[in-house]
Structure 1
Amino acid sequence: MEFRELECFVVLSEELHFARTAERLYLSPGRVSQLVHSLEVRLGGRLFHRTSRRVRLTSLGERFLADLRPSYDGIANAVGRAKAAAREVTGVIRLGFLATPTDVVTGSVRAFEDRYPGCETELVEIPLSDPFGKLRAGQVDITFTLLPVDEPDLATGEGLNRVSYQLGVSSRHPLATRTSIDVEELAGVSLIGLDGPAPRTWRERVAPPATPSGRPIPLAGTVSTSQEGLTQVALNRGGMLFCTPTAAHHRRPDVSFVPVMGLPPSILGLAWVKAAETAATRAFTEAAAGHALGTAALKDCRDGPSSPS
């Protein structure tokens, strides 16, 4: 016996009106009639007298309602409590981040904790070479990642920032003193890429195989983490692309960071396993999006109105 049939019977016994019952249950009147008929077939007798003007319980319906009501109310209350608990944002949410806890990461965490002080946040570093492994293994609930993500089992939120790229090179590299380079000049630089199980699209974002015009970009080897890459860069074994906030975080005397003109922006967002979505992951994406929106509005206020062209 289906709970939906019992629910429909109880509500119709209260309303004694098919349209109002349908409205309460977000069903069509026809569907209400189907559910009641199905229950009557299971029980072997009529539960309601129905005419064009009136609906009332039969004697069987009255006895069945009296016997059912205590158990039904207990089940309905249990379901209601479970739904309420599922909507609560409490406990612990584990957040993955890539190498550097930038302002987007820390600001999102602060915004979330301000909204939901009853939920504790734990930060877990995610290796560049395996951006989704810990997510799929259940070691983190949601992770900061580069967008877009083309993984069927994962859901993503909106972009939280859009920033430019910089090329990290040894301070001894010929490009180290440049104020910027064009993306086509990457054809003359061996880039350090990623090893491990990173998806192809992810690896190509970190180390694109060709410039926009199609000129091949040499690969200087692969690493698993940003720190491994920076060490290779400092030893002048190749260059490595970093988003501007990460480059600013990793300033050091033996590495120079040169802005790259012409690359698509680096977009940071959030990803989570679709089947494991919770109230906490939804709440965190909303808090992060709100923080990003507030940050963008504050930047606009500081920059002032744009000059007319």
Structure 2
Amino acid sequence: MSGPPARTGPIGAGGLELRELECFLVLSEELHFGRTGTRLYVSQSRVSQLLRALESRIGARLVDRTCRRVRLTPLGEEFRASLHPAYDALRATVERARTAARGVEGRLAVGFQGTADDQIMQVIDAFHAQHPQCTTQIVEIPLSDPFGALRSGTVDVAVLLLPVTEPDLVLGPVFSSQPLTVALSVRHPLASRTALDAEELTELPLISPDEPAPPYWRTVQAPTTTPAGLPIPAGPRVSTLQEGLTLTAAGRGGMLLCRPTADYHGRRDVVFVPVTGLPESVQGVVHHAARETARVRAFTAAVRAVTAVTSPPAGHPERASAAGNVT
């Protein structure tokens, strides 16, 4: 008769701490203590504490940092290369065990940006019809932080504006593209127009999402040049859609929104003028690569079932765009 599994000894003086390993991996990607803290939802000083604790366990420095620069030591580079696949495998193993124990039950947190429109609600209804034992929580994702909630585990899956090229995130099915409008103050000289061409945006500062959204994503939501290469003035940066609309109403600039969001957020001091010449807005379903569960897969299947009915077929011009604006 076999006994209980043998206990492994602790790593270092205080045992293995997964939070320290997670902190090191994020820092090795960001090479910035502030951005690492933002991604982990902890303070910059806490990042330093976790790193010092890990270095103490190992007995050597993993990161060289000065007031101007953060970089991995040679040992840190070697440690990251060995740790990353092992850490991802460990998280995936734990999540698979949890999923097997629960099945498509429990709670699924679904994030959205801008507006949880009719199509998103159709997906949620279809998901509930197939899996009545699983409840959903609907969470708004800040405009300035599209990926943070997925990385922190606040949401399990999110409907986000494209593009999404993050190495730790998985892009699933996409929704149909939507035409763009530009939100303007009713007092703006262009507010009386029935449509604008993208080249006319040279006359209008564009309000854009703030950090920690990455530059490539922010540039798609608020282009810095027209299709012909002419510069578009930069307007204020904002954290939320409501901040953007408030600054729009105050005449501080314009904001690109897709038609469904414009219709949902209509207000008396803002008009929405259609814009031609830019790629249409597209949203996609995104989850964290290390946190794919039966619930996430079931939600993705519900998206495919709904979009197969309501979206244009593959190859249709409206499905060709890989970029998106607020929708």
- Please classify the TM superposition score into its range, dividing by the shorter chain length: 0.5 to 0.7
Residue correspondence of structure 1 range 118-267 to structure 2 within 5 A = 118-267=133-282
Aligned-residue Cα RMSD (Å) equals 1.9
Contact kept? 1:94, 1:123, Cα under 8 Å: yes
**8 A Cα contact 1:86 1:279, kept in partner:** no
Aligned residue in 2 for 1:278? 293
1:259 Cα shift?
0.5
Q: Is the 8 A contact 1:104 1:161 kept in 2?
A: no
Per-residue deviation at 1:82?
A: 6.0
* 1:99 Cα deviation from its structure 2 partner: 2.8
Return the alpha-carbon distance in structure 2 between the equivalents of residues 139 and 193 of structure 1: 24
Query: Would you say the 8 A contact 1:86–1:278 is kept in 2?
Result: no
Q: Distance between the aligned counterparts of 1:251 and 1:196, measured in 2?
A: 26
Q: Distance in 2 between matches of 1:112 and 1:175?
A: 43
TM-score (ref. length: structure 2): 0.64
* Counterpart contact for 1:129–1:198, Cα < 8 Å: yes
CA distance 1:238–1:119, shift in 2 (3 Å): same
Q: Percent identity?
A: 50
Query: What does residue 283 of structure 2 align with?
Result: 268
Other-structure match for 2:305: 290
1:296, distance to aligned residue in structure 2 (A) = 3.3
- In the alignment, residue 108 of structure 1 is paired with which amino acid? V
SS in 1 for 2:220: helix
The aligned amino acid for 1:174 is P
Deviation at 1:134, TM superposition (A): 1.0
Give the C-alpha shift of residue 193 in structure 1: 1.0
Q: What amino acid is the match of 2:196?
A: I
SS of the equivalent of 1:266 reads coil
Secondary structure of the 2:174 match is: coil
How far residue 88 of structure 1 moved from its aligned partner, in angstroms, is: 2.1
Q: 2:116 aligns with which of 63, 85, 101?
A: 101
What displacement does 1:285 show?
0.8
Q: How many residues were matched structurally? A: 218
Q: What TM-score, normalized to structure 1?
A: 0.68
For 1:120 and 1:149, the matched residues in 2 are separated by 27
Name structure 2 gaps, 5 residues minimum.
1-95, 313-327
Checking the alignment, whether the CA contact within 8 Å between 2:175 and 2:311 is kept in structure 1 is no
Distance 2:118 2:209 in 1: 24
Q: What is the letter of the counterpart of residue 291 of structure 2? A: A
